[in-house]
């Protein structure tokens, strides 16, 4: 409501209704709208446009070509998948399930299949606080993307292992560790298989949602890099 009021107050010539103010507020939250001192900058699949509060002659628009539109769609899909991973975690799925579940449809798996194949890796693998489950989710996706399917395929195995090592190094670089216990600040595992209740306090004290977000971000960056080659 405060953001809606900001648009109505700052841009009375451009924003002449509550509905329009709510629209601009909603797309700003999505990262598609930017307020400037003199107007509004807006991005969508067709291009970027600017509307000036005081002088319509200063309005402009830049339309994307086909490649730019494709890049825009890719960026938005990437953003949606990262958000989906975090939302899955906050809805109760474990860290590994959340990462795999956000991307599994790309490889022909249903969400149920994704949740089952990744279920055991939550909590640092079976709540043993070893390798972070979010990182394990990345490694599962790496197998779907670049995994050997023949026993004698040494080249395929090497390619997969190289990708896993690359992902692991990036995850460790951004978070300081790959180990669940270290990320949680635990001296030793709790010694229990029972997960904690998902309360507000749980989400406030744990970095797990951030680990899920980072893992999903790293994976999307990998996909973007390979698609541009």
Q: Determine the pLDDT at residue 213.
A: 93
Q: Determine the pLDDT at residue 229.
A: 59
**pTM surpassing 0.85?**
no
Nearest to 140 by CA among 151, 125, 130, 150: 125
Q: Determine the pLDDT at residue 60.
A: 85
Instruction: Give the separation between CA 224 and CA 22, rounded to whole angstroms.
Output: 32
Q: Determine the pLDDT at residue 144.
A: 94
Q: Determine the pLDDT at residue 130.
A: 96
Instruction: Give the separation between CA 14 and CA 56, rounded to whole angstroms.
Output: 10
Nearest to 122 by CA among 226, 185, 211: 211
Q: Determine the pLDDT at residue 71.
A: 56
Nearest to 219 by CA among 78, 48, 108: 78
User: Residue 85 corresponds to which tokens in the numbers above?
Assistant: 């991973």
For the chain, residues with pLDDT lower than 70 are 45, 64-76, 78, 228-229
Burial call 23-55: b when 16+ CB within 10 Å, e when fewer: bbbebbeeeebeeeeebbebbeeeebebbbbee
Instruction: Give the separation between CA 191 and CA 129, rounded to whole angstroms.
Output: 10
pLDDT, one tens digit per residue, over 39-83 is: 898 887 677 888 899 888 888 887 766 655 565 565 557 678 888
Characterise 48 by phi-psi region: left (phi > 0), alpha (psi -120 to 50), beta (else).
beta
Instruction: Give the separation between CA 8 and CA 31, rounded to whole angstroms.
Output: 19
User: Residue 122 corresponds to which tokens in the numbers above?
Assistant: 């939550």
What is residue 195's DSSP assignment? Answer: P
Alpha helices in 124-227, H assignment, sequence order = 133-146, 154-175, 180-184, 200-205, 208-227
Q: Determine the pLDDT at residue 34.
A: 85
Instruction: Give the separation between CA 167 and CA 182, rounded to whole angstroms.
Output: 18
Instruction: Give the separation between CA 215 and CA 138, rounded to whole angstroms.
Output: 6
Q: Determine the pLDDT at residue 2.
A: 87
Residues in the chain: 229
Q: What is the dihedral of CA 171, 125, 220, 170, to 10 degrees?
A: 10
Q: Determine the pLDDT at residue 191.
A: 87
């Amino acid at each position: 409501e405060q953001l809606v009021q900001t648009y109505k107050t700052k841009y009375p010539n451009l924003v002449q209704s509550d509905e329009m103010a709510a629209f601009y507020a909603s797309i700003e939250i999505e990262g598609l709208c930017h307020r400037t001192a003199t107007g509004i900058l807006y991005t969508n699949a067709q291009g970027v446009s600017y509307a000036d509060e005081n002088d319509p002659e200063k309005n402009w628009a830049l339309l994307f070509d086909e490649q730019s539109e494709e890049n825009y769609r890719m960026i938005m899909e990437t953003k949606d998948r990262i958000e989906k991973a975090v939302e899955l975690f906050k809805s109760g799925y474990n860290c590994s399930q959340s990462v795999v579940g956000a991307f599994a449809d790309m490889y022909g798996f249903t969400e149920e299949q994704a949740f089952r194949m990744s279920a055991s890796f939550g909590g640092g693998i079976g709540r043993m606080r070893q390798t972070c489950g979010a990182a394990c989710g990345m490694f599962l996706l790496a197998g779907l993307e670049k995994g050997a399917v023949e026993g004698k395929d040494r080249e395929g195995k090497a390619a997969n292992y190289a990708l896993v090592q690359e992902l692991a190094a990036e995850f460790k670089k951004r978070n300081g560790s790959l180990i669940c216990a270290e990320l949680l600040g635990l001296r030793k595992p709790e010694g229990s298989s029972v997960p904690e209740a998902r309360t507000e306090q749980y989400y406030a004290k744990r970095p797990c949602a951030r680990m899920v977000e980072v893992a999903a971000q790293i994976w999307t960056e990998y996909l973007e890099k390979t698609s541009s080659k």
